Amino acid sequence: MTTGKTTLPNDLVKEEVVRDYSLDRVPLEDRTKSWLSITNITFGIATAIFYFQMGSVMALQFGAPNAIVSAIYAIIVAGLLGTVIAYLSAKSGMNVNLLSRGGGFGYIGSSLTSLIYASNFIMYCAFEGLILVSAVHHFMPDFPKWILIVVFGTIIIPLNWFGIEQLDKLQKWSMPIFLVFLITAIVVSFMKPALYTGSVFSYMPEGVLFGGTALLFCIGMHNGIMGLTALLASDYARFLRPEDRKFGSIAIGFIPQIFCYGVMGGLGIWFGVRFLEKDPGVYIVLLLGIGGALFTMLTQLRINVTNIYSSSLSLSNFFENIFRFTPGRRFWVVVSAISAILLMLGGIVNHLDTVMTFQGVFLFSWAAILVTDALIVKKLLKIGPTYYVARQEFLYKWNPVGVVSLIAASAFGTIAASGYMGIFLQSTAAFFAALLAALLTVIIAVYTKGKYYLEHEPNDITPDDKLA
């Protein structure tokens, strides 16, 4: 005798419970996270020691005032981009990979963004992982580095296994511990004899002036990471509950930027100048001893779980789009982690400066295209649909609005960043590439009259799906 209910195997039930919607929008009934919860998850990247290092390097090379002004610029620009992208993601239930399909790229064109986005996170995972390995190796010099690389690279896999729910809990539990370490480091820094005893935040290296080339170099460094921090919010904002959309989008857009560029970057200036040291792996250990290694371990694990999570989503999108290969997000978690381990073992991260230059240009331009398409093309000019569609059966393979704009802007930005157009454009390449991308997005959308957004319209669009 049966009850009429179908019993699913346990593994399918579990998969349904922890589903991360890597290939489709998050349904309205599953958008249940508060803005505070989502913001807390994004703090995984905002609390990375990488931002210490940026602040220290900028202050010691180009002067603390230039580093501060550049940080304010980064907070404002990345915050505005992040707010719009977070709202679009919360409104549609899609991350930027899915938004790109109906946001100017087409379902094959968006694969270009997905693949480079995934590679970006894998590269950052390798870079952040090596910071962790170096800190631990300082206290265990007889332990081979390759074993530490494999161990810390592998730990990320189980920490990512259950998706958004696991990330939420991990960041909530680890945040108080992080704050204890951070406050302790600040307190100890006042007690340790400083190598530089002057005013930290007015420190200027000999021969360096406020503004001019020094400020441009600081802005150039921030441009290399701003696109990432703006786009990243979409992977989590898609789970935001509807009543939190407006205020939550602002919070998700700005609070992490304030923390990573303002708080972490500002502390990087403080620590770096006081102890005249650019490497946080050195001054954190100087301040906290073995606690410094534990602090580094905590921060790097916090950021790398978000790196691998976002990478797994992007790889899922790419292989589903191009090859119809859909093994599930967990498969791509493993692939991403192994790829990061191989990069660390192979020393490829020694070329991160070159990679970051291109990725900074690419990510900033991509963010500009998505925001321009939403606010100007869709909302102001009423070109194309005022909603987002991610399902392939309704989309063209390619949409020149986003694809041509991104390729042209990235080419210009890469050439400029390589120094072929003078020092001014070399330092501001990503910013002007983003402006070019935005301009081309409008021009091409007007020229094509929105023809390539939808092959035919779906019949299940609700008023809530449309941009307000």
Closest CA to 122 of 297, 257, 318: 318
Written as six digits, the tokens of 97 are 């990979």
What HEC string does 354-367 produce?
Answer: HHHHHHHHHHHHHH
Q: What is the pLDDT of residue 2?
A: 40
The Cα–Cα gap between 323 and 308 comes to: 21
> What is the DSSP secondary-structure string of 229-251?
HHHHTHHHHTTB-GGGHHHHHHH
Q: What is the pLDDT of residue 100?
A: 92
The Cα–Cα gap between 298 and 296 comes to: 5
Angle (CA) 189 194 198, round 5°: 110
CATH for the stretch 35-460:
1.10.4160.10
% helix, strand, coil for the chain, step of 5: 75, 0, 25
Question: Residue ranges per domain, the chain?
Answer: 35-460
Written as six digits, the tokens of 253 are 């857009």
The Cα–Cα gap between 369 and 357 comes to: 19
H helices within 140-162, ranges in order?
145-159
Q: What is the pLDDT of residue 15?
A: 47
3-class DSSP assignment, residue 33: strand
Closest CA to 109 of 98, 120, 118: 98
Q: What is the pLDDT of residue 3?
A: 42
Q: Which residues of 430-461 are buried (b: 16+ CB within 10 A; e: fewer)?
A: bbbbbbbbbebbbebbeebebebbbeeeeeee
Closest CA to 91 of 252, 317, 260, 254: 252
Per-residue pLDDT of the chain (468 residues; tens, 9 = 90+): 344 444 444 454 344 334 567 677 888 888 888 998 888 878 777 778 888 888 999 999 999 999 999 999 999 999 999 999 999 999 988 988 889 999 999 989 988 888 888 888 888 888 888 878 877 887 778 888 889 899 888 988 887 777 666 676 777 777 888 889 999 999 999 999 989 888 999 999 988 889 888 998 898 888 878 888 888 888 889 999 999 998 999 999 999 999 999 999 999 999 999 999 888 878 888 888 888 888 888 888 888 888 888 888 889 888 887 888 888 788 999 999 999 999 888 876 666 556 667 778 988 999 999 999 999 999 999 998 988 988 888 999 999 999 999 999 999 999 998 888 888 888 889 899 999 999 999 999 999 999 999 988 888 777 877 876
Which runs of E-coded beta strand occur in 71-204? Answer: none
Written as six digits, the tokens of 267 are 């502390």
The Cα–Cα gap between 123 and 116 comes to: 10
Instruction: Answer for the pair 266, 203: CB distance below 8 angstroms, yes or no.
Output: no
The Cα–Cα gap between 388 and 415 comes to: 33
Instruction: Answer for the pair 151, 171: CB distance below 8 angstroms, yes or no.
Output: no
Closest CA to 67 of 367, 280, 272, 360: 272
Closest CA to 431 of 74, 66, 71: 74
The Cα–Cα gap between 369 and 367 comes to: 5
The Cα–Cα gap between 30 and 32 comes to: 6
